């Protein structure tokens, strides 16, 4: 259900992730469904909720549940300057958070910085592709020297569904 392409499905998934006791495997697959690369427009409303909730989830659950949430709900498929600023703000505001959750957020932030640098470099020389998923265009990907592999995998995935 978490991968269903609707706001309602994402909302019910988020509610289950943040208010119920889930097994490690169910939580993992729900996180992979709610935060997937081709539905970032649907995940966008949960970025602020993620930063508001991640520490509570970490502190109140087992290590595995907390780590999975911190890693898999991090907005890694939406590397934007705004999301980077949100990660930086969380780090500054939560200096006394446990080392584990801090490391997860810092690793996500560092990966986001790298992605933004790669996107900047690719804009210099790139080809644009529209990737259709279902009946709607979800993302436009740019193929450049460092992003070509990711684009081809995602385009292949889409073609395999047709």
Residue 113's pLDDT is what?
Answer: 92
Enter the pTM of the model: 0.74
Output the CA–CA distances (angstroms, integers) from residue 121 to 49, 143, 150, in the order listed. Answer: 31, 11, 15
Residue 148's pLDDT is what?
Answer: 40
Listed residue (39, 34, 38, 37) closest to 53, CA to CA: 34
Q: pLDDT tens-digit profile of 113-160?
A: 998 888 887 666 555 555 555 554 445 555 554 444 344 333 334 444
Q: How confident is the model at residue 37 (pLDDT cuts 50, 70, 90)?
A: confident
Please give the Cα distance from 160 to 162 (Å, whole number): 6
Q: pLDDT tens-digit profile of 45-104?
A: 999 999 999 999 999 999 999 999 999 999 998 889 999 999 999 999 999 999 999 999
Please give the Cα distance from 18 to 51 (Å, whole number): 12
Output the CA–CA distances (angstroms, integers) from residue 24 to 20, 65, 66, 69, 73, in the order listed. Answer: 12, 6, 10, 10, 14
Listed residue (77, 54, 78) closest to 67, CA to CA: 54
């Amino acid at each position: 259900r978490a991968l269903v392409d609707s706001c309602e499905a994402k909302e019910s998934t988020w509610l289950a992730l943040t208010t119920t006791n889930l097994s490690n495997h169910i939580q993992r697959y729900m996180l992979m469904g709610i935060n997937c690369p081709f539905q970032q427009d649907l995940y966008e409303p949960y970025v602020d909720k993620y930063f508001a909730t991640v520490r509570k989830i970490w502190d109140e659950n087992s290590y595995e549940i907390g780590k999975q949430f911190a890693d898999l709900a991090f907005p890694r498929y939406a590397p934007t300057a705004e999301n980077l600023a949100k990660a930086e703000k969380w780090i500054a505001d939560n200096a006394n958070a446990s080392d584990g959750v801090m490391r997860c957020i810092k690793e996500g932030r560092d990966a986001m910085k790298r992605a933004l640098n790669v996107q900047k470099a690719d804009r210099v020389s790139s080809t644009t592709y529209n990737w259709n998923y279902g009946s709607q265009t979800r993302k436009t990907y740019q193929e450049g020297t460092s992003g070509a592999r990711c684009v081809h995998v995602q385009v292949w995935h889409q073609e395999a569904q047709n």
